[in-house]
Amino acid sequence: MNKIVVILALSAAIIGAVVAVSPAAATQPETFTICHVAGLASDPANYITLTLPYPAVYGPGGHFKNGTPQAGHDNDSFGPCVTPPPPPPDPTCETDPSLCPPDPTCETDPSLCPPAPTCETDPELCPPDPTCEELQNCEPPPPPPPSNEPEEPELPKAGFTSQYEITELGAPWQLTVPGNVWAGHNQTDWPAGQWWTLWIGKEFLFNGQWYTTVEYIIADPTEVELIGRAVDYDLMLITCRGYDPVTNTWAQRLVIFAELSQ
């Protein structure tokens, strides 16, 4: 009899347990909404919201087991997917002015440089016209106007041949005085323009003969008495020195006395 009572009591407990579970089972949702992540989360993954029946979620091969994602569904979660925000776009010159390249300048792009000023665009840059002294082509000074007053004799103007009577412009001419006296105009490209180099002891060729300088004199134009010494030497040369373009005069005379070379 006691055995029957025990069996009945156990049966009642089992039935009670079944009756106690049944209400919970009756409230179990039929479907679940989950977020299924297809692929790796860093690949990037595709986030898909799925609404599945209970067996697809918890059954064999389902997404979860005891609330934990099963293998192959490691990144799945309950509830609808929340799509992560897209990554911000790469900054550009428009969104970040510091990324804009600097405007080209004359230093970075020579084609932008203004042309350098020239004599044609800026007359102040033009060099002054060369003077006749720089070009070494000054015209000899014109003869003085005629005067009734007696003219003070000057070297080599004391009644000598003038430059305007020379047939060959620039050639020295012989004076009509005692001795072998020659005068020439001091122009660089004329023979007399080099007489200043005939220092004492210098041997030089003149009219086909070799001479040696024995006296080198810087004289005042009025020292015409020097011509009287010409008879004591084989050659006397006279030319002007110290031209002043303001007064159009020559301040000095160069006198060379020379002897025939031995």
Show the 3-state SS of 98-151: HHCCCCCCCCCCHHHCCCCCCCCCCHHHCCCCCCHHHHCCCCCCCCCCCCCCCC
Alpha-carbon distances of 38 from 46, 74, 168, rounded to whole Å = 5, 10, 114
Q: Measuring CA to CA, which residue among 116, 32, 35, 143 is closest to residue 82? A: 35
The verdict on residue 71 lying in a domain is yes
State the DSSP code for 233.
S
- Residue 150 belongs to a domain: no
Same domain? For 169 and 256 the reply is yes
Structure tokens, 130 = 């060369």
Does residue 129 have a pLDDT over 70? yes
**Is residue 102 in some structural domain?**
no
Alpha-carbon distance of 183 to 213, in angstroms, equals: 16
CATH number at residue 230: 2.40.260.10
Task: Report the domain count for the chain.
Answer: 2
Please report whether residue 58 resides in a domain: yes
Domain ends where: 20, 51, 84?
A: 84
Tell me which residue has tokens 């000095």: 252
Would 24 be classed as within a structural domain? Answer: no
Q: Residue 166: its pLDDT value, please?
A: 52
The pLDDT assigned to 184 comes to 87
Specify if 63 maps to a domain. Answer: yes
Report whether 155 contacts 253 (CB < 8 A): yes
Region 1-7 average pLDDT: 46
**pLDDT digit string (tens) for 207-217?**
999 999 999 99
Range of the domain at 61: 30-84
Tens digits of per-residue pLDDT, 57-106?
Answer: 787 778 788 778 887 787 888 889 887 677 888 888 888 888 888 888 88
Residues 157 and 176: beta-carbon distance below 8 Å = no
Residue 201, in any domain of the structure: yes
Which of residues 40, 60, 84 is at a domain's end? 84
**What is the predicted pLDDT for the residue at 168?**
64
Token pair of 35 as six digits = 């977020």
Report the pLDDT value the prediction gives residue 18, as an integer from 0 to 100.
Answer: 42
3-state helix, strand, coil in the chain (%, to 5): 25, 25, 50
Domain assignment present for residue 90? The answer is: no
